[in-house]
């Protein structure tokens, strides 16, 4: 036997036969595929559950994000903007992100800039507001003058659906019209949100304090966008704590659901109040 034959005999041949004998069932590849499928099903059912249980306003906001992911999250309420400069959903695209009303609506009277040097006496403002409110809101709002203060009282049911904080486009246009009267003035504007004593049914806001505060803050934001200086606006949410009627019946609760816009010269505030509000 020569050297070549001895070398061949010394080699060890290992044969690994996985093709038969039922060994394939020990593979773990199918487990990965099953895990992927289960994760996908779970994600799908989770999304469906979220859609079914989410407030419509939140749905609109989520939809807006996916349509325009580059946009910064917007202020209170749900919008679906068509451009980076325009807010859609608030007064039917009448508000411009940079301030004032959109040029396309020929409503951009102030372009977000007021004339602080111009002063109107309360009596003149009162008459203008009475005309505006009567024409746009009719019996759904009142304008009174008490203790050197103009008080616009708007029925909450006029502006908001139960648990909601954003008025319709038409009603927010009315709010903007009121702001037009107040832009070139120097009075202080307090915006008070009031509710009845029924717990809120909002999925976002848990208490009447929050609901009334957000309603007041949204009106303040619209006023500011139109051109009223932010330091002149004081939004407050008072919840159910200052009823003007009996909460034990539907008629009384309806009266208690309201927004009050109070316009007054800063001179009506004592020094302690000025410091508490404006300092």
Q: Is 102 among the domain residues? A: no
Poorest-confidence range of 18-32, 76-90, 133-147, 168-182? Answer: 76-90
Beta bridge partners of 104: none
Same domain, 164 and 29: no
Same domain, 148 and 267: yes
Same domain, 166 and 262: yes
Whole-number mean pLDDT of the chain?
Answer: 75
Same domain, 34 and 159: no
DSSP state string for 2-67: -HHHHHHHH--------SSTTGGGG--HHHHHHHHHHHHHHHHHHHHHHHHHS-HHHHHHHHHHHH
Give the chain's domain count: 2
Same domain, 37 and 170: no
Which residues constitute the domain of residue 48? 25-52
Share of the chain above pLDDT 90, in %: 38
> What is the per-residue pLDDT for 165?
85
| Residue where one domain finishes, among candidates 52, 68, 98 | 52
Query: Average pLDDT in the 242-268 region?
Result: 92
Strands (E), the chain: 86-87, 95-96, 141-145, 149-155, 188-194, 233-237, 258-264
The model carries a pTM of 0.61
Same domain, 136 and 222: yes
Q: Sign of torsion, CA 175 177 183 186?
A: negative
Share of the chain above pLDDT 70, in %: 62
C-beta of residue 194 within 8 angstroms of C-beta of residue 257: yes
> What is the per-residue pLDDT for 43?
81
Q: Is 100 among the domain residues? A: no
Q: Is 90 among the domain residues? A: no
Q: Is 81 among the domain residues? A: no
Q: Is the pLDDT of residue 252 over 80?
A: yes
Same domain, 263 and 150: yes
Same domain, 152 and 267: yes
| Residue where one domain finishes, among candidates 35, 52, 69 | 52
Residue 231: partners with Cβ closer than 8 Å, 6 or more residues away? 278
Listed ranges 44-48, 99-103, 128-132; the one with the highest mean pLDDT: 128-132
pLDDT band, residue 160 (cuts 50/70/90): confident
Q: Is 111 among the domain residues? A: no
Same domain, 136 and 251: yes
Q: Sign of torsion, CA 273 276 278 279?
A: positive
Q: What is the per-residue pLDDT across 111-121, written as a single tens digit (0 to 9) for each?
A: 445 455 567 88
Q: Is 34 among the domain residues? A: yes
pLDDT band, residue 274 (cuts 50/70/90): low
| Residue where one domain finishes, among candidates 52, 69, 93 | 52
pLDDT band, residue 63 (cuts 50/70/90): low
Q: Is 257 among the domain residues? A: yes
Same domain, 34 and 136: no
Same domain, 164 and 42: no
Residue in 4, 175, 150 with CA at minimum distance from that of residue 77: 175
């Amino acid at each position: 036997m020569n050297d070549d034959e001895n070398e061949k005999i010394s080699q060890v041949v290992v044969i690994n036969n996985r093709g038969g004998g039922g060994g394939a069932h020990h593979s773990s590849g199918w487990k990965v595929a099953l895990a992927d499928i289960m994760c996908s099903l779970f994600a799908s059912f989770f999304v469906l559950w979220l859609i079914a249980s989410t407030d419509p306003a939140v749905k609109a906001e989520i939809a807006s994000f996916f349509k325009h992911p580059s946009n910064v999250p917007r202020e209170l309420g749900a919008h679906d903007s068509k451009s980076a400069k325009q807010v859609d959903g608030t007064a039917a695209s009448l508000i411009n992100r940079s301030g004032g009303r959109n040029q396309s609506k020929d409503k951009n009277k102030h372009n977000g800039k007021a004339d602080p040097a111009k002063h109107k006496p309360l009596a003149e403002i009162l008459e203008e507001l009475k005309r505006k409110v009567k024409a746009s809101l009719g019996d759904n709002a009142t304008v009174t003058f008490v203790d050197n203060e103009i008080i616009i009282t708007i029925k909450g049911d006029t502006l908001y659906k139960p648990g909601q904080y954003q008025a319709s486009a038409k009603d927010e246009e009315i709010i903007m019209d009121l702001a037009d009267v107040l832009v070139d003035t120097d009075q202080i504007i307090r915006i008070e949100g009031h509710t009845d004593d029924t717990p809120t049914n909002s999925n976002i806001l848990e208490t009447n304090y929050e609901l009334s505060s957000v309603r007041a803050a949204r009106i303040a934001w619209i006023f500011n966008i139109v051109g009223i200086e932010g330091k002149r606006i004081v939004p407050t949410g008072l919840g159910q704590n200052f009823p003007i009627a009996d909460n034990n019946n539907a008629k009384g609760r309806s009266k208690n659901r309201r927004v009050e816009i109070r316009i007054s010269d800063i001179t009506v505030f004592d020094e302690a109040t000025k410091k508490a509000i404006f300092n």
